Structure 1
Amino acid sequence: MPSTRSAEQLTKYEKIESFVKGFKLSGSAYKRVMALLHQEMINGLKHHSQGGADIKMFPTFVRSLPDGSECGEFLALDLGGTNFRVLLVRLQGHDVEIQSKTYLIPQRIMLGTGIQLFDHIADCIGKFVVEHDLQNHQLPLGFTFSFPCQQEGLAKARLSKWTKGFRCEGVVGKDICQLLQEALQRRTNCHVEIVAVVNDAVGTLMSAAHGDRNCEIGLILGTGCNACYMEGLDNVGTWKHGEDQDHHPRQVIINTEWGAFGDNGCLDFMRTEYDHELDTFSINPAKQIMEKMISGMYMGEIVRLVLVRLSHENLLFTSADRDCNLFERGRFYTKYVSEIESDTDEFFRNTKQVLDELQVENYTTEDCKVVKYVCTLVSARAAFLAAAGLATLINRLNKQDMTIAVDGSLYRFHPRFHNLMCLKIKELVKPGLKFKLSLSHDGSGKGAALTAAVSLRLRNLKMTTSGEENGKNLATQTISVKA
């Protein structure tokens, strides 16, 4: 904020500061977050404590990263919000060709039944297949499903809970791959086999790892917030799968579901009155606490709550009509934060455009300064909290050079998020560990297809290995008989 002010202005800005100081956290506070997060991760990985852990640390059954040999024609389905995409992905080594189409999920379907949801998706996949003249093709499908799931196999995942405004009944606890496969059989004549299900974080990691062998962490900063990473199998106490043949590396990608970090109250020391109010009026109170301090679904609302409080205190918009959209829940979108922080001069063009859209009248240049200041505080806390999470993973993996694949609208469009995260990660990681944040291109589409391709490669390798072993056994038996 400006440093040269009159006594009256200084008093005003000191009052404003008293209402926003909770967003300014010390380095030691973020180190405390890291220690708490790492302990919760360990709890989630252990068999005896996973049930009570907020961070579920689900094994994804994705055991290998792409090696560049993946070839073929794959469908991908990306479901994680109010829109979903169907993609045709053609792989030829490191060459990738993608065609896609986006479809809308109406509000009535988001709040309807699971059958309605999956029938709608299957109808759209059927139309897509016909439009691309693929009716007679055998099409493996990689399914990006960006909601918390308990995976029981690479193509078997039970929904743990809905997030992001979905409430389709009859899906929680069910295998979402089976529900989609049944809908495809009901609604289409396509030859589609779901061979892999991943969330968007895993897809992001797989997509980036296709061209970067140092990539072992995937991060989503969009409507939601989540991360995944490659963990040694010996550290995963919840791993029950018996298929540990030699062709599978002793590793597995872990879907942390770290958006739920803090649900047990351990982050209450850093939550503000605005966080508590947002949580109270959300559709999932006391859930997804870390996500509610970071992600695009909530950041705009936190800013709005601060602005409303300052307005009620007569520190902002003193001449504005209290019936404008600013005072309506959910009307200050997170994209506004990115637009406002993109203002680089004293004219505040973007800020003024946002305030006009919100029907705020009679605002001043000082009001614009305060609005931008609030946005910078809320987004910086979000970036630093995400950075603390990443630093925890980087320190755990403890590798010299690490690439983190990142995707999501918040990371893509916010003008400062990348730089803020890099600064804070450098401060928090162990000395000597190098890292880079890399935007993952089309992770939730290309990544899902690559997961399906890797799955088929390992399946074929298993069949080949089994055939060779059977051949050896048969030869041994023949020799024994001759002897």
Structure 2
Amino acid sequence: MRQARDVIREESEVLHLTDKQIKEIMSRLHNDLVKGLGKDTHANSIVKCWITYIQDLPNGKERGKFLALDLGGTNFRVLIINLGANHFDMQSKIYAIPNHIMTGSGVALFDHIAECLANFMKEHDVYAERLALGFTFSFPLQQLGLTKGILQRWTKGFSCSGVVGEDVVQGLKDAIARRGDVQIDICAIQNDTTGTLMSCAWKNHNCKIGLIVGTGSNACYVEKTENCELFDGEPGKPDLLINTEWGAFGDDGALDFVRTEFDREVDNNSINKGKQIQEKMISGMYMGELVRLALVKLTKMGLLFGGRGSDLLFQRGSFYTKYVSEIESDKPGDFTSCMEVLEELGLSHASEADMAAVRHVCECVSRRAAHLVSAGIACLLNKMNEPRVTVGIDGSVYRFHPHFHTLMCEKIAQLVRPGIQFDPMLSEDGSGRGAALVAAVACRQSSTVA
């Protein structure tokens, strides 16, 4: 049995990133960030570094009642948030988007959202009030201002006509105007990464990086305005929030030197082949499938399960990422969760040695994901070169994987320049509370200006 275990470890070695490889990844990402920020290089840049037009972070003095709208999938949320001195009161409701609206016209989509907004305001007795709204829109967006965002392309099953290439804020404003019964001022549009940073910054003013490691992966950070050559907003403020859209890193082949046959197969079978290459090595949408493909190979080599797989093991998408977290939650020498997962997959004939091997493959895939994220965060920290930065983090992989946090902390500490300290902070509802805070900061600024 020792021999099979050794071969399994050799085969899994392709999922290990050496320190030399990680440093090369950081160097390539840094070059891509600079390209994304540059006027002459942005158009051809893979990592887009979109300008968010957010130049002020929460200072804890934001007060008042705000609406938030969180649209990022088949459901959306409407929230009402009351901000007081270091406390907030939040109520929300989830609304479904029927399939015919997801694939219908943009007008119908925004009319549906506006109707739900009006109903929500009635339910919470603010129908007659004029409220500011922060809009979280988790689709690829080019921002041209704090309240102007052009949809680049639909994802997540949406295909509403007449929206791509248009300003989604205007689409929502028009729908509200068509109703004529509620008064809502859309103060800001943002994505969920930005919201994560804003939500954490309200409590911790050192928070200058926002990170999502969930179904997808993305990061935003505070950059010096002078480095943002495309910025055409209010001059004189030193900082600007940048949405990197780093999931696309590697779309030009920059990560090919560390990609495996499993990564290529995941990409070939995806709906966006050749796109979001880094995300496909990191995020919850793909981690389970990477494990499954490795297990299939080892089974076909006769190294696992006595060479006998199961229909489910050979079925694409059957090994969920939550299984990775469950299997790695077992204590050393205990395979309770692993046994349950394998039984669900029709592999009840697995031996203890098989279970140890399955856990090893899970660990290799999740460690690589954590190290890739760490390389990205360390790259941002080194670029910012500030003595202490809090990193606001959200997403199901970071929240639920038992070792992701520890793996990241250890690796980032190795990769940052001497003298740079970082503090990870779990975000609380970035896409909801964060949206309201973006609106609150925008209102704070306009009242200061006024």
* Bucket of the pairwise TM-score, normalised by the shorter protein: over 0.9
Deviations 1:328-367 (A, max 9, x none): 2222221111111111143422122222333334222222
Kindly report which structure 2 residues correspond to 1:287-298, keeping only aligned pairs within 5 A, or say none.
287-298=275-286
* Bigger mean CA offset, 390-399 vs 304-313: 304-313
Displacement of 1:109 in angstroms is 4.4
Matched AA of 2:290: I
Residue 279 (1) aligns with residue 267 (2): yes
- Where structure 1 has 5 or more consecutive residues not aligned to the other structure, the ranges are 1-8, 464-483
Post-superposition shift, 1:112?
Answer: 4.5
| 1:288 CA displacement | 0.5
Call closer, same or farther: CA 1:301–1:186 in 2, change over 3 Å.
farther
**Structure 1 contact 164–223 (Cα < 8 Å) conserved:** no
Task: Mark the CA change 1:129 to 1:353 in structure 2 (over 3 Å): closer, same or farther.
Answer: farther
Residue 31 of structure 1 aligns to which amino acid in structure 2?
K
Q: Counterpart of 2:120 in structure 1: which amino acid? A: F
1:321/1:361 contact within 8 Å kept: no
1:180 equivalent in alignment to 2:172: yes
Per-residue CA deviations over 1:354-399 (Å, capped at 9, x if unaligned) read 2233333422222221221111110000000000000011111111
Contact 1:111 1:168 in 2 (8 A): yes
Counterpart selection for 2:425 from 411, 415, 438 = 438
Q: Give the counterpart letter for 1:341 in structure 2.
A: E
1:14 CA displacement: 3.0
Give the C-alpha shift of residue 230 in structure 1: 0.9
Equivalent residue, structure 1, for 2:403: 416
**Does residue 55 of structure 2 align to residue 74 of structure 1?**
no
Q: Which amino acid aligns with 1:457?
A: R
> Residues of 1 paired with 2:161 and 2:321: CA distance?
28
**Correspondence for 2:244:** 256
Alignment partners' CA distance in 2, 1:102 and 1:414: 26
Counterpart of 1:39 (choices 7, 31, 34) is 31
Q: Which runs of 4+ in 1 moved over 6 A?
A: none
SS in 2 for 1:444: coil
Decide whether the 8 Å contact of 1:319 with 1:361 is kept in 2: no
Q: Distance in 1 between matches of 2:102 and 2:361?
A: 33
Change beyond 3 A, Cα 1:110–1:223? farther
- The answer to whether the 8 Å contact 1:319/1:362 transfers is no
Q: 1:312 to 1:100 in 2, by over 3 A?
A: same
1-structure distance, mates of 2:7, 2:123: 60
- Verify the 8 A CA contact 1:75 1:449 in the aligned structure 2: yes
Counterpart-to-counterpart distance in 2, 1:281 and 1:167: 20
Whether 1:376 and 2:374 are equivalent positions in the alignment is: no
In the aligned structure 1, how far is the partner of 2:294 from the partner of 2:160?
A: 32
1:300–1:332 Cα contact (<8 Å) kept: yes
Distance 1:130 1:331, change over 3 A: farther
Aligned to 1:6: none
Cα-to-partner distance string for 1:110-153 (whole Å, 9 max, x where unaligned): 45543444344333323322221221111211011122211011
More displaced stretch, 217-226 vs 356-365: 356-365
Q: Distance in 2 between the 1:455 and 1:386 partners? A: 31
Q: CA deviation at 1:81?
A: 3.0
- CA drift at 1:106: 4.6
Q: Percent of pairs identical after alignment? A: 50
1:86, 1:101 within 8 Å by CA — same for their partners in 2? yes
1:224 to 216, 220, 236: 216
**1:69-108 → structure 2 map (5 Å cutoff):** 69-107=61-99
Change (3 A) 1:152 1:354: same
Residues 109-120 of structure 1: pairs in structure 2 closer than 5 A:
109-120=101-112
Do the aligned partners of 1:184 and 1:190 also contact (CA within 8 Å) in 2?
Answer: yes
- In the alignment, structure 2 segments of 5+ residues that lack a partner are none
Amino acid at match of 1:458: Q
Q: Which residue of 2 aligns with 1:478?
A: none
1:452 and 1:70 mapped to 2: Cα distance?
10
- Structure 2 counterpart of 1:255, which letter? N
Which residue of the other structure, out of 325, 331, 338, is the alignment partner of 1:338? 325
Distance 1:82 1:23 in 2: 33
Distance 1:119 1:95, change over 3 A: same
2:227 corresponding residue in structure 1:
235
Shift of 1:90: 0.6
Secondary structure at the residue paired with 1:269? helix
CA shift for structure 1 position 311: 2.0
Q: Distance in 2 between matches of 1:155 and 1:118?
A: 16
Matched with 1:397 is 384
Q: What is the aligned partner in structure 1 of residue 40 from structure 2?
A: 48
Please, which of 441, 454, 458 is the counterpart of residue 441 of structure 2? Answer: 454
Distance 1:373 1:19 in 2: 11
Counterpart Cα distance in 2 of 1:420 and 1:452: 35
Whether 1:148 and 2:135 are equivalent positions in the alignment is no
- What do residues 1-30 of structure 1 show as CA deviations (whole Å, max 9, x unaligned)? xxxxxxxx2331233234321111111111
CA distance in 2: counterparts of 1:118 and 1:426, whole angstroms = 45
* Residues 319 and 363, structure 1, Cα contact 8 Å, conserved in 2: no
Cα distance change, pair 401–217 in 1 and its aligned pair in 2 (3 A): same
Q: Where does residue 348 of structure 1 map in the other structure?
A: 335
Return the alpha-carbon distance in structure 1 between the equivalents of residues 4 and 44 of structure 2: 46
* Residues 388-426 of structure 1: CA deviation (Å, up to 9, x unaligned): 000011111111111111111111111000000011101
TM-score by length of 1: 0.89
Distance 1:397 1:134 in 2: 42
> Cα gap change, 1:162/1:15 in structure 2, threshold over 3 Å: closer, same or farther?
farther
Q: Distance in 2 between matches of 1:237 and 1:23?
A: 37
TM-score by length of 2: 0.95
Instruction: Please say which of residues 69-78 and 174-183 is displaced more in the overlay.
Output: 174-183
- Aligned positions, number: 450
Q: Name the SS of the counterpart of 1:443 in structure 2.
A: coil
Moved more, 180-189 or 310-319: 180-189
Q: In 2 relative to 1, CA 265–84 (structure 1 residues): closer, same or farther, beyond 3 Å? A: same
Report the RMSD for the aligned CA atoms in angstroms: 1.9
Q: Is the 8 A contact 2:299 2:309 kept in 1?
A: no
| CA distance, structure 1, for counterparts of residue 206 and residue 193 of structure 2 | 16
- SS of corresponding position for 2:432: helix
Residue aligning to 1:481: none
Change (3 A) 1:389 1:164: farther
Could you say if the C-alpha distance between residues 20 and 194 of structure 1 is closer, same or farther in structure 2, counting changes exceeding 3 Å? Answer: same
CA offset digits 1:18-43 (Å, max 9, x no partner): 43211111111111011000000000
